[in-house]
């Protein structure tokens, strides 16, 4: 199977896809097999190129997706004119999207909505002379667009053949179905043949009933209709569907299940009839949308065109052009937008199918050889165009240029530490493109390790994706090697001493029978701070709320920079920039008063500006100030709950909370569903909140709603709620479009507000139910899922709620969380979760219940791997006794407890007792499970070298040579050999 590698530079791209509308480019993005510019990496663009680009792989092609600022040939020409300044090797530009279509070609071929048209040539129909009585298109050689490039004509000629056209049709159907399966693309599904309505060309789209508008005076095609009619759908105007010509169209009838002879079609035949057809022909291009059925038919007959669009004439002179567009309407006056998203999907699907056909014949697949990675940036945040220069940024820059520099940024939450670090990182990458720029999240050990894993992937460290890879050690070693080049790192949110300085036990001390753990290979427990190297070829910028943490990471106190609130002038500049939608200025006195009320804190200023922007011109700076003063009572109640960051100075103002409360109060009044979404999100770990755990999980039951208008439950409801929260800067897009982040103080404040209103326990219960459903067991096959959700499970430990159902779910979730944490060597977290799970189950179901014994067993294996053998022995004996009573002596779970107790006894030097238990476990496993079952093989490992050989061979055959259990047994065999010598 061919392997594909990301192009090394912009010059490796030869295909450009040009889209005008968001629905067009969204469909193309949904089909990308690989997106190249992620995690902060960017190919950049040429100086002076105003275009916006995305890059990726579509099928076998590396493609550039060029975003147009608007529709029409002028916008298209602006994009195409500078495209090659950045991507010099572009050979073809494919204009992808939706268009109007003629119902029937001059040769009698039917075109239906959703069919795709691939251009053989383009005619600019609005370029000519307008005389008093008619318009005459220019036809001189120097004025027409001319023939397509020879290579393009050859490719299109081949695609028109029966075999390729058939493959294009099948692939287009398959790829469009693939788009519909993506989140957010449910509207891209096939609307159905009954909605494919074609009216007679002379049937005008207007108010058909008396409406007290100029439509009542309409008599012929030259008469005007009202603006309201032009913007309304056919069903709203009363257009007579009985006049539709669709019943006479053969393909429509077949798509509805009726053969030309009137007989019923099979399901397979109906499915085939509903597939979009691929048409080849001349495309008409103009700067006006064709909205006249009669004019459409005249142009089609005069110019022999099959479709109408607005962009290709603009690109034609700058880059060889192909148009691949899908028919969303019949280029008449009737308005129906329900086909647009389906048409965008079929156009994108056909584009991918077309590129696969072109690639397979004209340019065979070439596997690029693996090359050493070029330095790139891994900055997970977009650059802030409204960034305001601050003196502290110059201090960062000067100190970061020194060898092995470490700079600390210390300040209150929301003061702008991370924004300064982001701007520094981008400037560092711009100043020296040969410098690696890395970003590490340090809010938790899980996030720290995940960041290092992304670095390992990007620099292509050998074995980085192995289950037992010592990721932290590998990356630290790579950073310490000067031959790997210069690098700069930002360690963000290093707020917790426990996270940075407490031992991080990434190694396994002993292996047990349930289940097989895997952890980094280092046998010595280090703190995460030990993995931040001091290398002459690198520098580190650390952001933190805690000076104590930074002092433990930085040697010289002069390299610790206090980030204070902005000066008044800086704050006013930021506020003015964020109020970008306001065409008129605001009185300076109002601006000064507002930034002073907000203590010149960047986060508070950004939130206030978002609030004002959304409601302008009715809400101004002065009215926002009035709102702050009017909500004194509510604000006082909130502040009495001590809703401040515990690491902040007790004398510090809580103005960020004040600003948030104003915004949240308005959201609650105007869109309560968004307020509910914020409440649920506040219970998650604040970073990387998955969207699939939020959608529909925060809504009220229908019976609880006070009115049907409270929330629109269609599929856009969640996106609208997220948009509301993002517009207030309460949540942000995370490292991918499917993850969200929240500011720490916003999250903390939300939970305090819920507590104040007696709603916190209810939301905690809902959150625990969500995680109980989503978080799987700690089995090796589930590690990818567990890794993404584990930080959110850690939050459950601190949630104590009433209600047996929720307590049972909490105990189950923490048990599985402890399992995963233990399997990955995170023993402190595993022990904390296992204890909480055990305590909960003892209260709910008693000491001897099977679920309680599971938690006893989990805590025992955690203590065992921590070297606390006496405690582990007591718990293992309890688990064994309970399982013998409840399950029987030879039940697999009982035998697992026998094996684990044997391991603990062996670790304490009680070899005879351990041997007896191992023999019992072996005999029981062979009887109940068979000789080659993993439990039987594990229980055998303490007896003798011969039996170890048998166990290892069995594991290789059953589980494979790389499975963690196989490797664990091999290590134990080696320990036995050492004991024998």
What is residue 1's predicted lDDT score, i.e. its pLDDT?
34
Q: How far apart are CA 608 and CA 597, in angstroms?
A: 11
Q: Name the pTM for this structure.
A: 0.42
90, 84 contact by CB (below 8 A):
yes
Q: How far apart are CA 15 and CA 6, in angstroms?
A: 14
Residue 377's nearest CA partner among 39, 806, 669 is: 39
Q: How far apart are CA 293 and CA 335, in angstroms?
A: 12
Higher pLDDT, 645 or 628: 628
Higher pLDDT, 67 or 518: 67
Segment 505-557, tens digit of pLDDT: 653 333 333 233 333 334 346 889 999 998 889 999 999 877 778 888 998 88
Residue 44's nearest CA partner among 102, 3, 87 is: 87
Higher pLDDT, 772 or 245: 772
Helices 892-907 and 869-887, axial angle in degrees (round to 10): 160
Segment 424-479, tens digit of pLDDT: 999 998 888 889 999 999 888 888 988 898 898 888 888 877 777 888 999 999 99
Q: Among all chains, which residue has been given the structure tokens 């790389």?
A: 962
Question: Is 580's pLDDT higher than 90?
Answer: no
Segment 21-37, tens digit of pLDDT: 999 999 999 999 888 98
- Neighbour-count burial of 449, counting CB atoms closer than 10 A to its CB (0-12 exposed, 13-18 middle, 19+ buried): buried
Question: Is 913's pLDDT higher than 60?
Answer: yes
164, 350 contact by CB (below 8 A):
no
Which of the four pLDDT bands, split at 50, 70 and 90, describes residue 359? low
Segment 727-757, tens digit of pLDDT: 566 788 888 889 999 876 678 778 877 877 7
Q: Among all chains, which residue has been given the structure tokens 């008693």?
A: 846
Question: Is 901's pLDDT higher than 60?
Answer: yes
Q: How far apart are CA 552 and CA 498, in angstroms?
A: 12
What is the token pair recorded at 289?
């949308």
What is residue 505's predicted lDDT score, i.e. its pLDDT?
63
Choice among 626-635, 713-722, 965-974 with the minimum mean pLDDT: 626-635
What is residue 701's predicted lDDT score, i.e. its pLDDT?
53
CA–CA–CA angle 647, 452, 821 (5° rounding): 75
Kindly list the distances between the CA atom of residue 270 and the CA atoms of 109, 169, 266, in Å, as whole numbers in the listed order. Answer: 19, 15, 6
Residue 56's nearest CA partner among 35, 39, 28 is: 35
- Neighbour-count burial of 791, counting CB atoms closer than 10 A to its CB (0-12 exposed, 13-18 middle, 19+ buried): buried
Specify the DSSP class assigned to residue 104.
B
Average pLDDT over residues 177-189: 80
Q: How far apart are CA 443 and CA 544, in angstroms?
A: 10
Specify the DSSP class assigned to residue 202.
T
What is the token pair recorded at 727?
């517009």
What is the per-residue burial (b if ≥16 Cβ within 10 Å, else e) of 98-133?
bbbbbbbbeeeebbbbbbbbbbbbbbbbebeeeeee
What is residue 216's predicted lDDT score, i.e. its pLDDT?
64
For the chain, how big is the Rg over CA atoms in Å? Answer: 33
Question: Is 360's pLDDT higher than 80?
Answer: no
Kindly list the distances between the CA atom of residue 594 and the CA atoms of 111, 574, 598, in Å, as whole numbers in the listed order. Answer: 60, 12, 6
Average pLDDT over residues 318-335: 88
Determine how β-strand 321-329 pairs with β-strand 305-309: unpaired
Asked whether the bond before 689 is cis by omega within 30 degrees of 0, the reply is: no
Average pLDDT over residues 265-284: 86
What is the token pair recorded at 43?
């190919």
Task: Give the rounded percent of residues in the chain with a pLDDT score beyond 70.
Answer: 80
Which of the four pLDDT bands, split at 50, 70 and 90, describes residue 295? confident
Kindly list the distances between the CA atom of residue 498 and the CA atoms of 447, 462, 520, 690, 850, in Å, as whole numbers in the listed order. Answer: 14, 31, 20, 26, 34
Q: How far apart are CA 891 and CA 883, in angstroms?
A: 8
683, 763 contact by CB (below 8 A):
yes
767, 810 contact by CB (below 8 A):
no
Residue 783: other Cβ atoms inside 10 A: 18
918, 942 contact by CB (below 8 A):
yes
What's the mean per-residue pLDDT of the chain?
Answer: 79
Q: How far apart are CA 593 and CA 82, in angstroms?
A: 45
Q: How far apart are CA 672 and CA 674, in angstroms?
A: 5
Segment 916-956, tens digit of pLDDT: 777 776 666 666 655 555 544 444 444 544 455 556 667 77
């Amino acid at each position: 199977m061919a392997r594909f590698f990301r192009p090394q530079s912009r010059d490796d791209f030869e295909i450009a896809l040009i889209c005008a509308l968001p629905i067009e480019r969204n469909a193309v993005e949904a089909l990308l097999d690989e997106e190249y510019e992620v995690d902060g990496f960017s190919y950049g663009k040429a100086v002076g190129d105003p275009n916006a680009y995305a890059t990726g792989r579509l099928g076998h092609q590396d493609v550039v997706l060029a975003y147009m600022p608007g529709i029409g040939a002028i916008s298209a020409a602006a994009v195409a004119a500078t495209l090659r300044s950045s991507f010099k090797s572009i050979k073809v530009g494919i204009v992808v999207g939706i268009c109007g279509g003629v119902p029937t070609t001059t040769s009698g071929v039917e075109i239906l909505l959703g069919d795709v048209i691939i251009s053989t040539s383009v005619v600019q129909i609005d370029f000519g002379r307008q005389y008093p009585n008619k318009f005459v298109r220019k036809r001189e050689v120097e004025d027409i667009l001319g023939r397509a490039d020879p290579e393009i004509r050859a490719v299109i000629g081949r695609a028109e053949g029966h075999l390729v056209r058939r493959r294009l049709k099948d692939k287009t159907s398959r790829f469009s179905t693939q788009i519909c399966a993506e989140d957010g693309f449910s509207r891209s599904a096939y609307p159905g043949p009954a909605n494919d309505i074609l009216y007679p060309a002379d049937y005008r789209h207007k108010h058909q009933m008396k409406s007290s508008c100029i439509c009542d005076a309409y008599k012929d095609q030259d008469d005007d209709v009202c603006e309201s009619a032009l913007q309304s759908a056919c069903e709203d105007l009363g257009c007579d569907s009985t006049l539709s010509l669709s019943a006479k169209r053969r393909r429509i009838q077949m798509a509805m299940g009726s053969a030309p002879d009137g007989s019923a079609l099979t399901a397979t035949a109906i499915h085939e009839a509903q597939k979009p057809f691929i048409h080849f022909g001349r495309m008409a291009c103009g700067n006006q949308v064709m909205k006249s059925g009669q004019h459409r038919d005249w142009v089609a007959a005069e110019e022999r065109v099959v479709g109408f669009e607005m962009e290709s004439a603009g690109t034609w002179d700058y880059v060889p052009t192909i148009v691949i567009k899908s028919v969303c309407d019949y280029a008449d006056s009737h308005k129906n937008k329900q086909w647009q998203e389906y048409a965008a999907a079929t156009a994108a699907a056909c584009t991918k199918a077309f590129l696969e056909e072109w690639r397979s014949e004209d340019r065979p697949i070439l596997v690029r050889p693996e090359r050493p990675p070029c330095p790139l940036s891994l900055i997970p945040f977009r650059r802030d165009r409204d960034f305001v220069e601050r003196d502290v940024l110059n201090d960062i820059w000067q100190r970061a240029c020194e060898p092995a520099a470490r700079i600390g940024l210390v300040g209150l939450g929301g003061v702008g530490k991370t924004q300064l670090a982001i701007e520094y990182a981008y400037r560092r990458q711009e100043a020296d493109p040969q410098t690696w720029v890395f970003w590490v999240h340090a809010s938790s050990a899980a996030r720290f390790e995940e960041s290092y894993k992304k670095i390992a992937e990007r620099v292509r460290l050998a074995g980085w994706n192995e289950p037992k890879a010592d990721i932290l050690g590998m990356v630290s070693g790579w950073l310490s090697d000067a031959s790997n080049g210069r690098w700069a790192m930002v360690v963000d949110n290093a707020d917790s001493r426990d996270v940075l300085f407490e031992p991080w036990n990434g190694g396994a001390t002993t292996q047990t029978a349930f289940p097989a753990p895997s952890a980094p290979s280092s046998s010595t427990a280090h703190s995460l701070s030990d993995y931040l190297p001091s290398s002459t070829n690198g520098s580190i910028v650390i952001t933190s709320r805690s000076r104590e943490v930074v002092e433990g990471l930085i040697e010289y106190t002069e390299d610790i920079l206090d980030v204070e609130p902005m000066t008044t002038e800086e704050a006013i500049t930021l506020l003015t920039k964020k109020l970008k939608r306001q065409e008129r200025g605001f009185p300076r006195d109002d601006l000064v008063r507002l930034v002073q009320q907000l203590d010149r804190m960047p986060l508070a200023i950004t939130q206030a500006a978002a609030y004002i922007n959304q409601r302008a011109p009715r809400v101004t700076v002065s009215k926002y100030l009035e709102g702050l003063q009017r909500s004194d009572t509510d604000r006082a109640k909130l502040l009495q709950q001590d809703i401040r960051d515990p690491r902040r100075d007790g004398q510090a103002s809580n103005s960020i909370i004040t600003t948030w409360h104003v915004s949240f109060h308005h959201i609650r009044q105007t869109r309560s569903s968004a307020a509910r979404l914020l409440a649920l999100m506040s219970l998650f770990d604040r970073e990387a909140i998955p969207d699939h755990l939020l959608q529909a999980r925060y809504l009220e039951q229908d019976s609880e709603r006070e009115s049907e208008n409270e929330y629109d439950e269609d599929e856009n409801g969640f996106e609208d709620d997220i948009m509301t929260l993002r517009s207030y800067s309460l949540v942000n897009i995370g490292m991918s479009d499917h993850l969200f982040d929240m500011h720490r103080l916003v999250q903390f404040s939300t939970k305090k507000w819920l507590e104040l209103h007696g709603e916190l326990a209810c939301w905690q219960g809902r959150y625990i139910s969500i995680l109980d459903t989503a978080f799987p067991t700690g089995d090796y096959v589930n590690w990818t899922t567990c890794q993404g959700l584990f930080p959110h499970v850690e939050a459950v430990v601190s949630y104590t709620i009433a209600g047996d159902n929720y307590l049972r779910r909490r105990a189950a979730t923490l048990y599985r969380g402890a399992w995963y944490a233990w399997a990955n060597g995170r023993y402190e977290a595993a022990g904390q979760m296992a204890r909480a799970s055990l305590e909960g189950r003892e209260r709910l179901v008693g000491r001897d219940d099977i679920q309680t014994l599971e938690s006893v067993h989990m805590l025992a294996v955690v203590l065992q791997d921590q070297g606390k053998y006496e405690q582990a022995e007591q718990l293992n004996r309890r688990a064994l006794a309970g399982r013998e009573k409840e399950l029987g002596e030879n039940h697999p779970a009982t035998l697992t407890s026998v094996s684990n107790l044997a391991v603990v006894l062996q670790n304490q030097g009680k070899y005879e007792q351990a041997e007896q238990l191992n023999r019992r476990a072996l005999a029981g496993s062979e009887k109940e499970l068979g000789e080659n079952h993993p439990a039987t093989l594990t229980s055998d490992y303490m007896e003798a070298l011969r039996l170890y050989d048998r166990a290892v061979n069995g594991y290789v055959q059953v589980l494979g040579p790389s499975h963690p259990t196989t490797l664990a047994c091999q290590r134990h065999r080696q320990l036995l050999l050492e004991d024998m010598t």
